[in-house]
Amino acid sequence: MIVTEMYHRAVLLKESIEGLNIIDGGTYVDATFGGGGHTNAILEKFTGGRVIAFDQDKDAFANINSDKRLELVHSNFRFMAEQLSARGIAKVDGILADLGISSHQIDTPERGFATRFDASLDMRMNNDATRTAADIVNTYPAAKLQKMFSEYGEITNAANLARVIETARKVKHIKTTGELIEAISICTPPQIAHKYLAQVFQSLRIELNEEVDALKDLLRQSETVMNKGGRLVIISYHSLEDRLVKNFIRSGNFEGIPQKNMYGHDLRPFEPVTKKPIAPGEEEISSNSRARSAKLRIAEKI
């Protein structure tokens, strides 16, 4: 078994578990099992409940314990409703998702998520998937690369970056993280090189793993499978994710446009529990720097 703290330290653990407002005997979903930190904290809160946890990364299964109240499903959380139905579960009392990449994935060179290792340009969260980040870098047209870098990385020189990649791959197929970093060095601002490369890698990771579509699917399904009074607890790490979560909670759609019925009442499935997102305190950030950008939003099913 991989030690949970070594695999991934759960972010905003106390706040997210409190946000679930756990009831004994309830059924809960941990959409992002990872190191099992959030799942184990849920299990500690009751004696007769049940947790259905999801993770598409087979490495996470090394962290599962023998608790009979837990079932870990090897699946992307975008298939949550389907997987719950297959287990005879119509409704749940809470859903938690920590959308961040795990420390294990970042710190394992061969996974290709980190800029500090020269490794295969992989970035697959699902080890069984066939397409890798290298396929995107070497096959996407410049216009599609530009759109990806602009939307998912908020990169200001996305057009130039896309052209540089398109030119470089004509000379040599880009296979590794190091080769990508070298290829785009001419358009990487030296003053903010670390941040810039992180944005490039983030864009590729989000595109490859279809993270935006998966999050939208999870949020839509949460409305269907959640019991009245159940809690939705989402931890996000960049503005794109947080905006989708915020808009869905506030308006029931991803555009943030309020919808009203014929009586003028808001048509939304959830009520925000907190007006603003909860951020980690200085103590947590000092002990876990990867928590710095985390934002926690909590909502209750109406």
Q: What is the mean pLDDT of the chain?
A: 95
Residue 188 confidence (pLDDT) above 70 = yes
Q: Which residues contact 280 (CB under 8 A, 6 or more apart)?
A: 11, 12, 288, 291, 292, 294
The mean pLDDT of 227-249, rounded to a whole number, is: 97
Q: How many CB atoms lie within 10 A of CB 15?
A: 19
pLDDT number for residue 267: 84
Residue 2 confidence (pLDDT) above 70 = no
pLDDT number for residue 6: 61
For domain 127-208, the question of CATH label 1.10.287.180 is answered with no
Give the CATH number of domain 4-104+211-301. 3.40.50.150
Cβ 95 vs Cβ 220: under 8 Å: no
pLDDT number for residue 4: 53
Of 6 and 236, the one with more pLDDT: 236
First to last CA, the chain: 40
The mean pLDDT of 248-272, rounded to a whole number, is: 89
pLDDT number for residue 115: 95
268: left (phi over 0), alpha (psi -120 to 50) or beta: beta
- CA 140-59-20 angle, 5° bins: 95
Cβ 39 vs Cβ 141: under 8 Å: no
What is the per-residue pLDDT across 219-229, written as a single tens digit (0 to 9) for each? 999 999 999 99
CATH 3.40.50.150 region(s) of the chain? 4-104+211-301
Cβ 65 vs Cβ 40: under 8 Å: yes
pLDDT number for residue 262: 80
CA neighbor of 20 nearest in space, from 8, 31, 9, 35:
31
In this structure, the chain runs to a length of: 302
pLDDT number for residue 3: 43
pLDDT band for 1, please (50, 70, 90 cuts). Answer: very low
pLDDT number for residue 152: 97
264 burial level (CB within 10 Å; 0-12, 13-18, 19+): exposed
What is the per-residue pLDDT across 194-205, written as a single tens digit (0 to 9) for each? 999 999 999 999
CATH 1.10.150.170 region(s) of the chain? 127-208
Q: Which amino acid is at 19?
A: G
Cα 293 from Cα 223, distance rounded (Å) = 27
What is the per-residue pLDDT across 21-60, written as a single tens digit (0 to 9) for each? 999 999 999 999 999 999 999 999 999 999 999 999 999 9
Cα 145 from Cα 13, distance rounded (Å) = 36
